[in-house]
Amino acid sequence: MQATANVQTGPVSMAETKPKGRFNSDLTQVWIGVALIGITGFGPMIAGNSYWIHTFQLVNIYIAAAIFQNMLFVDAGQKSFGQGAILGLAAYVAAILFGLHGWSFAAASLGGLFAAVLGGLLFALPALRVQGFHLGFVTMSAAIVFPQLLVTLDKWTNGINGISVSVPALTNPVVFGMSPLSIAVAVFPMIALFVHYGVRRSKLGRSMFVAALSPEAARSLGIKPGVMRFLAFIVASIGTGICGILYLPTVAFVSPQGFNIELSFVFFFAVVVGGRGQMLGPIIGIWIVYILPNILLAGFVEYRLLMYGCLTLLAVMAFPDGIVGSAERLRAKRKQSGGGEQAFRIDGFLADLQAGKTVREPSDEIAVEVRNGTKKFGEVVAVSAVDLKVRKGEVHGLIGANGSGKTSLLNVLSGLSRLNTGSFMINGVDATNMAADRIANMSLGRTFQAPRIFSQLSLWDNLKIGMDARVGPASADVTALAKAMEESFGQDSATLLSHGQRRLVEVMRTVLKEATIVLFDEPAAGLSQSERTNFANLVKFLSRQMGKTIILVEHDLDLVWGIADTITVLEQGRVVSSGKPDVVAKDPAVQHMFVGSRHA
Amino acid sequence: MLSEILIIVIRGIAIGSIFATIAMSFNIVHGATNIFNFAQGNMFILGGFAAYFLANQVGLGQWSLMLLLTGLGIAAVVAFQGYITLLPLRSSVEQDSWLISTVSVSVIVAALLMITQGPFAYSVQSVVPSFRIFGTRTPGAYALAIAAMIFWFFALRFFLRKTFIGLAISALSQDFDAARAAGLPVRRLQLIAFAISGLMVGTVGFLVAPVISVSPDAGLKYVLNGFVAAVVGGIGSNAGTLIGGPLVGVVAMLTAYKVGGAYQDLASLLVLVLILMFRPQGLFGRVGARRV
């Protein structure tokens, strides 16, 4: 194999500069949302009808709560059916402190907010251990138990009679006939929308998203999924708690029936009907799920729950993306979105990075060392008493038949599973019992057999996850590369990438992360011959020009022999041979592997 | 005092047997589809309503016939629900849709019951006479609940191990793709699993109607307690539910006795959270190997 094949030159930015549609319409949706909230927030006041004012104040509060539900459900992947209980908790605690104990409204509100955050933390606690439907059941039970407790603990809550409050300072008009409360209720959903947008555009938002969709990928990028879930629940419960605080003076009354499970379902269903993950989704969702049955069809109020259920079922069956999501899909189809992803090629990056680099040879220092490592799954010994030394800057090939323990060893090295006995060191530091995110932060990066590509993120955001995972500040050429990629791929979709390009995305993540040790798990599987040649060049480049240590698990022996400095052969979890490629090739213990290969 | 506790424990075990059967009905659907049917509690309550309308104060013969019809009817309803739940999954990579559709079906069934029957609890006469245990009259339906749990445990065991369809459903829960590659009619098997789960909860709902609150909003209570029983036993383990169900039932009864009936759901929630925090695989479940 010719490792120094010709590299086609050309910068990353060679993508044609035809006008592209935006990858998503989040920002547009935020502004439309602000306008719509303005209509329900200020419209009734202008009309001056007190019934409509009151009704739409409640609508706006629910819109804000649904926005936080949307963030929690989609961006952080936490299936909570209990957000109504969080809202009720804040409202009730504030009502008890203000209405029954004579606290000032401000102090009582803080108390209510504190209670909401506490409630959110209680939801987050089981979320550390379990996900998905487990969490759905836990939060749903909490939403069922909450009103029961309000009734039972009547010593503190006034039980079934509820608590009436009046806050004239907030409800008396100050400017243009508007009270401070009505202004707050009109503005808060807008703030919620910007918070959601801001979180989504931030490193925190991307990390939450990756942690929700692929916990292994997240941990191998230094993200702690548990911390992300906690943060998501805290942000959502602060937001939902404020909704509860606003609810209290708006309705001027709290009772257990006001916060039964139906309320939680309203928020959840609104998100689904409006469009999961769409900025505008919760607004349209509340309009349909709440306004339609409660206001337009108020004569059929007993059919309300039936309408919620039917609308939601209909949405899942007929337009699973929801109303806004379906519109967004049409928009993305009509506009020429993306198209630049053809330019996402290895040669471009090599050319961009290559300038002024000197060739480095592997040093004699040890980057990764495994001592007598054994990993068992029940009775199956996947890795058996393995000793392995990987020098800094070398390409170390790890080969062996399926089930010989290669991927198990990689998972141990990246911290996704633990050795049963033995130890391993990374750059001289014992990492045997380190969690995956700590190992990732020791400048180790990895790719997966099945590339972890997130179709909801643009191509650039998919790459930026690597940038987010950095430990220190970026070097000059990585900064330049990142800038070029942002310009080229900022509005491109990652769904249209070929299989080879998907693998490249994962590799480029480790480049942007500036990981000094990179683990590749069968990177060439499914690549074409020319893609393999390109990939071999990239690996050589990462090792020789960028000085990275590479551990390569691969079945393509020609590829491995073409680029590896050292090769270790595993068989049934044991090391049967290790050394320079030409030495290993002659080792009688591994001859049988070469049937059909040119090294036979 | 001691006999009081004993009576409570026995009633707890009986109520818990209902939870165990619901948990087993979760397991068979979950094994075949990875879906947890949030509407299962309402399907159970439908069985109770069927008992009220079809078999209140009738003879044993008609009662048995109606039991069979109710079981089959609810099996059909749940199979239909399964069909529409599985529809969006055919094309979409989005895996949340079943969560949403089963929750919305649960809401729809409860709302329909509320609209047609009102928010009342219906009382159903027992066809099986009560019996004396530790000097207290105990409704016959309690014995039926325990018998139904044992019956369904062994019936499922036989079905899943000895019949071709049962083995095929077991294969689904082992490895989905392999089962499909082996040419099994995956979708049909999944619908059969849904139907069996409906048959289970429908018949049990019918049998225990005299001792439960047959009301539109009771479904949620049973779906949650059934879930807690499944988690305590270890999801996928039917043998585990035989312990998990009665355990949850006894905890609920003791809570009602010692603290107050209003705290029963809270107690179940606490059991659920404690198990999930400290032993998420359940008392009898095993930790699966990680796949990367």
ipTM: 0.89
Residue A444: partners with Cβ closer than 8 Å, 6 or more residues away: A413, A414, A426, A515, A516, A517, A518, A519
What dotted CATH number matches A363-457+506-594?
A: 3.40.50.300
Sequential pLDDT tens for chain A (600 residues): 333 333 333 444 444 444 566 777 889 999 999 999 998 888 887 777 778 888 889 999 999 999 999 999 999 999 899 999 999 999 999 999 999 999 999 999 999 999 999 999 988 888 887 777 888 889 999 999 999 999 999 888 988 899 999 888 888 888 777 888 989 999 999 999 999 999 999 999 999 999 988 888 899 898 999 899 999 999 999 999 999 999 999 999 999 999 999 899 999 999 999 998 999 999 999 998 888 877 777 667 778 888 889 989 998 888 888 889 888 888 877 765 555 666 777 777 777 666 556 777 888 888 999 999 999 888 888 888 899 999 998 999 999 888 888 889 999 999 998 999 999 999 988 999 999 999 998 889 999 888 888 888 888 888 888 888 888 888 888 888 888 888 888 888 888 788 888 888 888 898 888 889 999 998 888 888 888 888 888 888 888 888 899 999 988 888 899 899 999 999 888 998 888 988 888 888 777 776 655 554
Helix H or strand E segment including A575: strand A574-579
State which residue of chain A sits closest to B290, comparing Cα positions. A417
CA–CA distance, B244 with B238 (Å, rounded to integer): 10
Greatest alpha-carbon pair distance for chain B in Å reads: 60
Give start-end residues of each CATH 3.40.50.300 domain in chain A: 363-457+506-594
Helix H or strand E segment including B138: strand B136-138
Collect all residues of chain B within an 8 Å Cβ-Cβ radius of residue A261. 220
Nearest to A303 among B101, B115, B220 (CB): B115
B94–A79 CB contact, under 8 Å: no
A448–B292 CB contact, under 8 Å: yes
A316–B108 CB contact, under 8 Å: no
Phi and psi, residue A371, nearest 5°: -115, 110
Least Cα separation, residue A309 to chain B (angstroms): 5
Collect all residues of chain A within an 8 Å Cβ-Cβ radius of residue B104. 269, 308-310, 312-313, 316
Q: Which pLDDT score, from 0 to 100, does residue B181 have?
A: 85
Residue A286: partners with Cβ closer than 8 Å, 6 or more residues away: A59, A62, A63, A66, A266, A270, A274
B265–A269 CB contact, under 8 Å: no
Q: Which of B35, B36, B80, B107 to mutate to test the interface with A (most CBs of A within 10 A)?
A: B107
Helix H or strand E segment including B84: helix B60-91
What's the Cα-to-Cα distance from B130 to each of A19, B27, B42, B56, B266, rounded to whole Å?
A: 80, 32, 27, 16, 30
Q: Strand A253-254 relative to strand A366-377: parallel, antiparallel, unpaired?
A: unpaired
A320: contact with B, CB 8 A cutoff: yes
Using a pLDDT cut of 90, give the percent of chain B over it. Answer: 62
The pair of structure tokens assigned to A267 is 């928020």
What dotted CATH number matches B2-126+136-278?
A: 1.10.3470
Judge contact between A385 and A372, C-beta under 8 A. Answer: yes
B108: contact with A, CB 8 A cutoff: yes
Q: Strand A421-426 relative to strand A366-377: parallel, antiparallel, unpaired?
A: antiparallel
B104–A141 CB contact, under 8 Å: no
Where are chain B's structural domains? 2-126+136-278
A313: contact with B, CB 8 A cutoff: yes
Closest to A593 (Cα-Cα) out of A542, A557, A550, A563:
A557
